[in-house]
Every structure is written in C-alpha cells, then in structure tokens.
Amino acid sequence: MDEKEKSVLENAATEEENVDSQEKPAEKRVKTSMGLEENVAGLLCYLLGLITGIVFLVLEKDSRFVRFHALQSIFISGTLVVLNIVLTAIPVLGWLLGLFLSLIGFVLWIVLMVKAYQGKWFKLSIFGDMAEKQLDQMKK
C-alpha cells in the first residue's frame, strides 16, 4: 500500500469514528401523571374500548392527549355497542349490517391505536369534536 491509500483509509476510519461518537438527539418522551409515556397511554385507552377509556379518563389528571383519546374511545365504543345491540334485534338484514359494522369497528380500533401510539391527535369528525368539547368543559 502506498501513502495515498493509507491516508484515504485513515480518513475513512476517522470519519466513521466521528459519526459513531455523535449523540443522536433523544426523542421527547412525555410522561403522564400515571407514569406512562403519553403515546402508550393513548394506545391503551382504545385497548378494551369503554373499560380502558373510562379507566384512563378517571385516573389521568394532567395529559390532555390521553384524556382526549380516552373520551374518543368511550364515545366510539359506546356508539358501536349500542348500534350492534339495535342491529341484532333486526332479523337477517340487521345481522348482516351488524357484521359489517363490527368489521369497520375492528379496522377503526387498529387505526386509532396506531395513531395514538404515534403520538398523533387523530380526531374522528363527530366523535373527536365531542371529545374536545367535553375536555374543554371538564377543564372549567
């Protein structure tokens, strides 16, 4: 190896060391009053629908993000439960609509959990507005 090749290799090694030694900025992790990260608590609000929505709404005192997702979870799952009960009372057509509604509810459940875990304020048109209004009233 000649001097030129040695200097190129040394420069490459030095650049690699510089890249490795640079600290990557830590993501901002916000904790809730329950000690969970906000995104995890937001996801958990949807996990069991009404149950976890109510639990997180009652227990969380500080995080507006978590309380929003808890309220949205309560409103959505409550509506889906009522609609499924009503549709079950209607023979055949109601049962088919109930199956379709359950499929839509399942997809929505997954989407909402993923969006909450990503830390996004994913607001559904009617239910998100209701949740925000309720949050504003609770704050007063």
Cβ atoms of 47 and 114 closer than 8 Å = no
**Cα–Cα distance, 50 to 74 (Å, whole number):** 5
**Cα–Cα distance, 55 to 41 (Å, whole number):** 11
For the chain, give the percent of residues with pLDDT over 70.
79
pLDDT at 74: 97
Quote the domain boundaries for residue 57. 32-139
Q: Has residue 26 been placed in a domain? A: no
Q: Has residue 8 been placed in a domain? A: no
Q: Has residue 40 been placed in a domain? A: yes
Q: What is the mean pLDDT of residues 9-22?
A: 46
- Averaged confidence pLDDT in the chain: 85
Q: What is the mean pLDDT of residues 60-86?
A: 96
Where would I find the H helices in 1-140?
3-21, 38-47, 50-59, 64-88, 93-117, 125-139
Q: Has residue 52 been placed in a domain? A: yes
Q: Has residue 9 been placed in a domain? A: no
Binned at pLDDT 50, 70 and 90, residue 63 comes out as: very high
Q: What is the mean pLDDT of residues 9-17?
A: 50
Q: Has residue 92 been placed in a domain? A: yes
- Please tell me which residue, 6 or 98, carries the higher pLDDT value: 98
Q: What is the mean pLDDT of residues 15-26?
A: 41
Question: Into how many domains does the chain fold?
Answer: 1
- Dump pLDDT digits (tens) for 23-39: 333 456 789 989 999 99
Cβ atoms of 71 and 131 closer than 8 Å = yes
Q: Pull the structure tokens for residue 36.
A: 């969970």
pLDDT at 44: 97
Q: What is the mean pLDDT of residues 45-70?
A: 96
Q: What is the mean pLDDT of residues 92-97?
A: 95
Q: Has residue 53 been placed in a domain? A: yes
Q: Has residue 91 been placed in a domain? A: yes
> CA torsion, points 119, 51, 75, 132, in degrees to nearest 10?
-50
**Cα–Cα distance, 15 to 63 (Å, whole number):** 43
What pTM value is reported for the model? 0.76
